[in-house]
Copies of this chain bind each other. A is one copy, B any other.
């Protein structure tokens, strides 16, 4: 690890929590260069919903490369791209009655968000974007301006503007419907909130601490934005592609966003790819008005097309419901058994355990790592232990991971009590 310490920037972070050098990975498991394997409850921050190097997708990718399929072509037409577009329309959009046009920006989440913000501003002719407290939308200048984390924001080095943060559901306690505030600000021309181009949100704030919006709240937000002619952008980069149990995280709410951003698990294999979906009437782009070198990365189209087969019939979605139940009930059982001052929240296969003592999740994560489990923390003070297992993980593997969590938590608490004594 000397090489990294000597030559890689101090900005490196996850490697500090999981201090080993990884070599290979398969399914739910990562293996380091010493041959030790770790069960992965992190899934590359939501990139690996189908697990590491899934065989069916891998085969498609290697076949494509072996045949000298075109690798890089900017936004020129390619067979791989056409296949993906066709299949995405057939498997995902049409069955859900969703009419959207597709744009492939630079292949990262923040590029998709920047694209969505630009488009919303262009179409409405307004500058302001409303985002929510504790939102995370990316680290380039436009996306960072709609991100809540003060430490990350300060890294901009310039004031972040043309945005306004309003409280996410539950931010002001259970008694207050935070949308009352947004509704009032939009309705009142004296509020100081210039009518915004759009509201952008994650239906489950993952980095922000696994904060889960209710379906009612989402529906009301859609109503409010529609009433004021404000676009609604759902950033489904982390919790789309099945993470909440359906392909899109907002399906259960029955709402129709104006713009949707996808990335992370879209390629299904960890290859960079991003997609912006927009209502057809919003597609006011001029050719080349927004671009990017790696927009439309063909190997990623190949893997993404293969990954769509998970959604071609109902079994995968059904399996997620069962796993949701398993994780949810077990986490609550752990809380109860260990008598933890903590609450459990989540949807599908994204779950958070929010501890009153913000020191605990970090310690538990470290103990889990020692016990062979990779799991991360979230929230502004890292006060949430965040479970993000791959969706393809077997129930046995899930249980195994939950066992490690229980054991590690018990051990951390025990040693904490000792320290206190």
Contacts and interface: CB of A to CB of B under 8 A. Distances in A.
A37 to B, nearest CB: 12
Given A4-B81, A108-B111, 6 more contacts: A46-B293, A62-B62, A107-B107, A109-B292, A109-B293, A139-B292
Query: Which of A58, A79, A271, A379: most chain B Cβ within 10 A?
Result: A271
Q: Chain A: interface secondary structure?
A: loop
Contacts of A4: 77, 81-82, 85
B70 A118 contact: no
Given A148-B192, A172-B181, A271-B299, A13 B75 contact: yes
B167 A181 contact: yes
Interface string A138-176: 111111011111111111111111111101000111001
Nearest to A13: B288
Interface string A103-117: 110111111001001
A421 interface: no
B14 A139 contact: no
Nearest to A164: B164
A103 B9 contact: yes
A283 B4 CA distance: 14
29 contacts: A7-B85, A7-B101, A9-B278, A10-B284, A10-B285, A14-B76, A16-B287, A21-B78, A23-B69, A23-B70, A25-B70, A71-B269, A71-B270, A106-B110, A106-B111, A108-B294, A109-B292, A109-B293, A127-B158, A131-B192, A142-B142, A149-B189, A150-B190, A152-B290, A158-B162, A164-B165, A188-B380, A190-B379, A272-B294
A289 interface: yes
Contact of A103 (B11, B77, B380): B11
A419 interface: no
Contacts of A148: 190-192
A329 interface: no
Interface stretch (A47-55, A249-257, A349-357): A47-55
A213 interface: no
B270 A14 contact: no
A67 interface: yes
Given A68-B25, A164-B164, A192-B148, A127 B157 contact: yes
A193 B148 CA distance: 7
A194 B150 contact: yes
Interface in A59-73: 61-62, 65-73
Contacts of A103: 8-9, 11
A141 B141 contact: yes
A287 B197 CA distance: 27
A3 interface: yes
